[in-house]
Amino acid sequence: MITITANGKINLTLDILGRRDDGYHEVEMIMQSINLSDKLTIEKIDICDIILDCVVEGVSDKKDNLIYKAAELFLRTYNISCGVKISLEKNIPVAAGLAGGSTDAAAVLRGMNDLFDLALSARELCVLAAELGSDVPFCVVGGTMLAKGRGEKISPTASLPNCAFVLIKPKLGISTAWVYKNYREQLVKKHPDSNLMMGELAKKNLDGICGSLGNVLESVTIGTYPQLAVYKEKLCLYGAKAALMSGSGPSIFAVCGDAAAARRIAVKMRREYEELEVYEAVPASADK
Ligand SMILES: C[C@](O)(CO)[C@H](O)COP(=O)(O)OP(=O)(O)OC[C@H]1O[C@@H](n2ccc(N)nc2=O)[C@H](O)[C@@H]1O
Ligand SMILES: Nc1ncnc2c1ncn2[C@@H]1O[C@H](COP(=O)(O)OP(=O)(O)OP(=O)(O)O)[C@@H](O)[C@H]1O
């Protein structure tokens, strides 16, 4: 039996460079793992089956769960003739823009690699991961990465300096496909510059990093749900250095100098907005 931690992620930058023939968008983004995480337990079983123990609202416990798909892909690719039972402890909010499903799938690949002693490299796992979803290769490796292509081409960047995050999750579940489908370049006021962000990361300049945050998908999700802009403003008013939507949303993360500052802001947000789930987190480093 093996237990794996599956970290969530935020996007420090997210830019769309164009639409591709395969229906996906060409992206350029800097992704960051956070310690808000799910826990998966994987054990071998004698029958040739995949048993999923997942009791989470809004998440299927059937074959359409990314965990199931990842386990099936792994067993098939490596001709493994026994089965697995996988239990999920869900802490990352669902359909939030924090890669909840993607990180669970990545954890299954990493965990089964260890459980079956295959010693596959991160690069080999990332090939499988890309079949499961655009964010899954990043979630296999974690840390701070530049992601290109449809998100699956990852390369490491300098890591964040010490800081902490407040994350808020409004009671909205947003479909990633819907957000990309409704993206209109002409509605974007400013595109983030990933090179600039990488320079600030290399200098460990938290203020510069905060000044370089940007996500073009805000134009769709915040354009549709303007209340999200109010939460962003409030996070900054309460002392955050900056706030940005993560991924396709609706979660917003606020960057704070340290955990004590994040705690103070989280307390105020919880008190003022009962409709929000509020989390505190810190950056997580790479797994491999
Ligand atoms: C928004 C982000 O989370 C930012 O990290 C990712 O770009 C989305 O990654 P993901 O959830 O792993 O996405 P996938 O499961 O691969 O795709 C979900 C849907 O989003 C759209 N999609 C996704 C990635 C991409 N580069 N272009 C797209 O247009 C497609 O309609 C696709 O059907
Ligand atoms: N293991 C899983 N955990 C969470 N959601 C899952 C899982 N498997 C499938 N899903 C489905 O995936 C959809 C997106 O949920 P998820 O939490 O992955 O969103 P997200 O954080 O916005 O993803 P991303 O940031 O990668 O776009 C939901 O409809 C959910 O039911």
Does residue 250 have a cis bond before it (omega within 30 degrees)? Answer: yes
Known catalytic membership, residue 9: yes
Could you report the predicted ipTM of this complex, rounded to two decimals?
Answer: 0.96
Residue range 2-156, CATH number: 3.30.230.10
| Cα–Cα distance, 214 to 207 (Å, whole number) | 14
Which residue ranges of the chain lie beneath pLDDT 70? 288
Ligand 1 neighbour 69 (Cβ under 6 A): no
Ligand 2 neighbour 94 (Cβ under 6 A): yes
pLDDT for res 287: 75
pLDDT for res 220: 98
Looking at 15, 135, 169, 234, which residue is catalytic? 135
| Cα–Cα distance, 27 to 13 (Å, whole number) | 10
Ligand 2 neighbour 192 (Cβ under 6 A): no
Ligand 1 neighbour 251 (Cβ under 6 A): no
Indicate if 164-281 has the same CATH topology as 2-156. no
Q: For every residue of 194-228, which 3-state class applies, written as one string? A: HHHHHHHHHHCCHHHHHHCCEECCHHHHHHHCCHH
Out of 176, 181, 194, 248, mutate this one to test ligand 1's pocket (max ligand atoms within 8 Å of CB): namely 176
Ligand 1 atom closest to the Cα of residue 150 is 26
Distance from the alpha carbon of residue 109 to the mean position of ligand 2, in angstroms: 16
CATH 3.20.20.450 describes domain 164-281: no
253, 273 contact by CB (below 8 A): no
**Hey, where are the domains in the chain?**
2-156, 164-281
CA 142 to each of CA 52, 215, 242, 245, 286: distance values in angstroms, whole numbers, following the listed order = 24, 19, 23, 19, 4
Q: Which residues, in sequence order, are CB contacts of 103 under 8 Å at separation 6+?
A: 6, 7, 8, 9, 37, 38, 92, 135, 139
19-59: per-residue pLDDT in tens? Answer: 999 999 999 999 999 999 999 999 999 999 999 999 999 99
Give the pair of three-digit tokens for residue 125.
């796992």
pLDDT for res 173: 83
Distance from the alpha carbon of residue 31 to the mean position of ligand 1, in angstroms: 14
Element (H, E) at 32: strand 25-45
Known catalytic membership, residue 64: no
